[in-house]
């Protein structure tokens, strides 16, 4: 009986060894049926608008692909990748910003197409009214004398050409008149004398007459002197032009010296506007171009002028160059000294690539714009700028015609991208080392890509369309994060049943790629993650 029991035990042991060997051999050598299935699956073509299925990729962005549909360890389905697509189609590139449609609407983001335009600029400058220097006349006697009487005795008084201004007494003038009168009488008495005597007296008459003319004695006064033969004690000076008395130094009874200016008469029927143009706009100013002038005293009037001269000097204090604009002033509205606002048209160099000025963010060292790649996805571009008008600016490089550029809330998008970059940098470590065979040297550690982390917080907003949740969470020790409010993507839609606005939850999340964080599990506060319950929202359960 004992011998039978031993034999039976030996038979059972041999059977078990044979079964184990068969199982090991089956595992070591692939079955023909399995190879056929794999080969058939890898060559399967699935139409998606005529595109061929390439493979399935890991939903968490890990470097793992499969030729057939499968699930990851958390139960999430792998994502199909078709011909013409890349693994990053559903993920935001490192230099891009992904914002939910709900937040885009709240921020007030607006875009506009990059277009070809002619950049015509209006140059604006402050100026002042000044009299035309070519229309200013000075009254200055060329001999010594005394002001005997004033006919025009106030500054600003209007005068016409030929109007008496003042009378003067001069001993030199009286002597010159007498000399001329005697010469005229002597010439008349020598009419019957020999020719040399007449010739000498005639020269004396001419020289004395020329002396009077050199002193600006009018022909009318000379004719009166010849007719009467009597010298006059005083002589009247008249206005050489029509205008206003802009300066008067003559005072009745005063003594004046030769060349001393007693009156200044300014003709204001045409005036100048001296506009101070900034240095950076000077290259656009051209002589002959038209200008529009506005005066504070007449806000309802616009005056027209022409740019006639650009001065060759620059004011170092203001970095401006004076530009002369000439304009008519027949009604006398424009007074010297008035302030003026000048607008000069500057024509651009033709149609160039332009964007609205509001689209450009200038940091001082570089200029960037945000391009909308598709709804909710934006890419910053560094651009080189050229000429600018009031509303648009030329872009020499960085964008092309037809692209959509953000023109409103671009500063908020910039702040969003900076926040995500900062969050992505918290606790980020070097990638795992990989051997030549492709095996990892060590498992993922906290703070590395793909490692799971936990956080507790309150749900602020949920965008079901894009699968983005805004969570205000507390500190995350595994990543050395402080408490903050940030956006997370969800691994699948079933998580949104727990992640509702206002709910306090505990979540597990991983970094799919730099700066992009994905919630893989969520529980209300008080429940335990990882234990399957009726409320479990873990992906795939």
Pair 480, 409 in one domain:
no
Pair 500, 470 in one domain:
yes
Q: What is the pLDDT of residue 325?
A: 96
Pair 335, 362 in one domain:
no
User: Nearest Cα to 422, choosing from 339, 356, 481?
Assistant: 481
Pair 226, 202 in one domain:
yes
Structure tokens at 366: 């570089």
Output b/e per residue, 260-290; b: 16+ Cβ within 10 A: eebbbbbbbebbbbbbbbeeebeebbeeeee
How big is the CA angle at 470 (ends 465 and 474), to the nearest 5 degrees? 155
What is d(CA 357, CA 104) in angstroms, rounded to the nearest whole number? 21
Question: Which residue range(s) make up the domain with 516?
Answer: 453-524
CATH for 296? 2.40.30.170
Structural domain includes residue 35 = no
CATH for 421? 2.40.420.20
Pair 167, 244 in one domain:
yes
Structural domain includes residue 336 = yes
User: Nearest Cα to 366, choosing from 384, 353, 378, 354?
Assistant: 384
What is d(CA 169, CA 219) in angstroms, rounded to the nearest whole number? 18
Pair 161, 220 in one domain:
yes
Structure tokens at 360: 């450009």
User: Nearest Cα to 308, choosing from 271, 337, 334?
Assistant: 271
Based on the number of CB atoms within 10 Å of its own CB, is 108 exposed (0-12), middle (13-18) or buried (19 or more)? exposed
Structural domain includes residue 296 = yes
Q: What is the pLDDT of residue 50?
A: 65
Structure tokens at 314: 């620059």
What is d(CA 49, CA 52) in angstroms, rounded to the nearest whole number? 9
Tokens 């190879």 locate to: 35
Q: Taking the chain (541 residues) in consecutive chunks of 10 residues, what is each chunk's mean pLDDT?
A: 42 44 43 39 50 72 72 76 54 66 82 86 91 93 92 92 91 84 77 73 81 80 73 85 92 92 93 93 88 92 94 93 94 91 82 89 86 86 84 88 88 70 46 38 47 89 88 88 88 86 91 82 74 40 38
Sign of the alpha-carbon torsion through 226, 228, 233, 234? negative
Structural domain includes residue 188 = yes
pTM, 2 dp:
0.49
Based on the number of CB atoms within 10 Å of its own CB, is 511 exposed (0-12), middle (13-18) or buried (19 or more)? buried
Structural domain includes residue 327 = yes
Pair 176, 275 in one domain:
no
Long-range contacts of 222-229, Cβ-Cβ distance < 8 Å, separation of 24 or more: 225/177, 225/180, 225/181, 226/184, 229/181, 229/184, 229/185
Domain boundary (340, 363, 383) is at 340
Q: What is the pLDDT of residue 417?
A: 67
Q: Are 398 and 382 in contact (CB under 8 A)?
A: yes
Tokens 């926040």 locate to: 419
Q: What torsion, rounded to 10 degrees, do the Cα atoms 495, 501, 502, 505 define?
A: 20
How big is the CA angle at 132 (ends 248 and 140), to the nearest 5 degrees? 35
What is d(CA 131, CA 269) in angstroms, rounded to the nearest whole number? 9
Domain boundary (340, 367, 389) is at 340
Structural domain includes residue 433 = no
The two beta strands, 516-524 and 484-490, are parallel
Structural domain includes residue 442 = no
Pair 145, 196 in one domain:
yes
Q: What is the pLDDT of residue 203?
A: 82
Count of structural domains within the chain: 6
What is d(CA 216, CA 235) in angstroms, rounded to the nearest whole number? 11
Pair 52, 146 in one domain:
no
Pair 233, 159 in one domain:
yes
Backbone angles phi, psi at 96, to 5 degrees: -115, 160
CATH for 471? 2.40.50.320
């Amino acid at each position: 009986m004992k011998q039978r029991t031993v034999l039976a035990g030996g038979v059972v042991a041999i059977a078990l060894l044979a079964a184990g060997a068969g199982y090991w051999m089956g595992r070591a050598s692939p079955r023909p049926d399995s190879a056929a299935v794999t080969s058939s699956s890898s060559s399967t073509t699935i139409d998606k608008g005529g595109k061929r299925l390439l493979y399935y990729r890991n939903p968490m962005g890990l470097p793992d692909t499969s030729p057939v549909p499968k699930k990851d360890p958390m139960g999430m389905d792998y994502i199909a990748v078709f011909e013409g697509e890349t693994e990053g189609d559903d993920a935001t590139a490192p230099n891009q910003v992904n914002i939910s449609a709900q937040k885009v609407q709240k921020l007030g983001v607006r875009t506009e197409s990059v277009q070809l335009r002619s950049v015509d600029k209006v140059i604006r400058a402050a100026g002042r009214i000044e009299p035309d220097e070519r229309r200013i006349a000075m009254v200055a006697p060329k001999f010594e004398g005394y002001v005997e009487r004033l006919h025009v005795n106030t500054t600003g008084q209007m005068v016409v050409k030929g109007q008496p201004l003042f009378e003067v007494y001069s001993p030199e003038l009286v002597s010159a008149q007498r000399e001329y009168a005697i010469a005229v009488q002597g010439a008349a008495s020598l009419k019957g004398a020999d020719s040399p005597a007449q010739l000498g007296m005639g020269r004396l008459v001419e020289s004395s007459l020329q002396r009077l003319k050199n002193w600006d004695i009018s022909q009318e006064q000379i004719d009166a002197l010849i007719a009467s033969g009597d010298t006059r004690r005083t002589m009247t000076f008249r206005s050489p032009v029509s205008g206003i008395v802009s300066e008067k130094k003559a005072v009745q009874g005063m003594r004046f010296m030769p060349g001393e200016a007693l009156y200044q008469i300014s003709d204001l029927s045409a005036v100048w506007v001296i506009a101070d143009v900034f240095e950076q706009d000077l290259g656009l100013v051209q002589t002959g171009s038209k200008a529009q002038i506005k005066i504070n005293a007449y806000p309802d009037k616009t005056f027209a002028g022409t740019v006639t001269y650009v001065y060759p000097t620059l004011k170092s204090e203001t970095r401006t160059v004076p530009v002369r604009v000439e304009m008519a002033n027949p009604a006398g509205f424009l007074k010297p000294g008035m302030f003026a606002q000048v607008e000069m048209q500057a024509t651009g160099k033709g149609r160039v690539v332009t964007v609205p000025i509001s689209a450009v963010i200038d940091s001082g060292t570089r200029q960037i714009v945000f391009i909308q790649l598709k709804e909710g996805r934006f890419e910053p571009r560094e651009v080189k700028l050229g000429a600018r008008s009031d509303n648009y600016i030329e872009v020499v490089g960085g964008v092309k015609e037809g692209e959509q550029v953000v023109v409103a809330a671009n500063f908020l998008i910039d702040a969003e991208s900076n926040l995500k970059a900062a969050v992505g940098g918290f606790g980020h470590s070097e990638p795992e080392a990989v051997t030549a065979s492709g095996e990892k040297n060590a498992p993922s550690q906290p703070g590395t890509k793909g490692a799971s982390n936990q956080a507790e917080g309150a749900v602020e907003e949920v965008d079901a369309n894009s699968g983005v949740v805004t969570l205000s969470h507390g500190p995350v020790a595994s990543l050395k994060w402080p408490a903050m409010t940030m956006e997370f993507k969800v691994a699948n839609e079933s998580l949104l049943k727990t992640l509702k606005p206002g709910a306090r939850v505990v979540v597990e999340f991983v970094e799919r790629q730099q700066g992009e964080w994905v919630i893989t599990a969520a529980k209300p506060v008080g429940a335990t993650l990882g234990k399957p319950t009726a409320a479990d929202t873990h992906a795939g359960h």
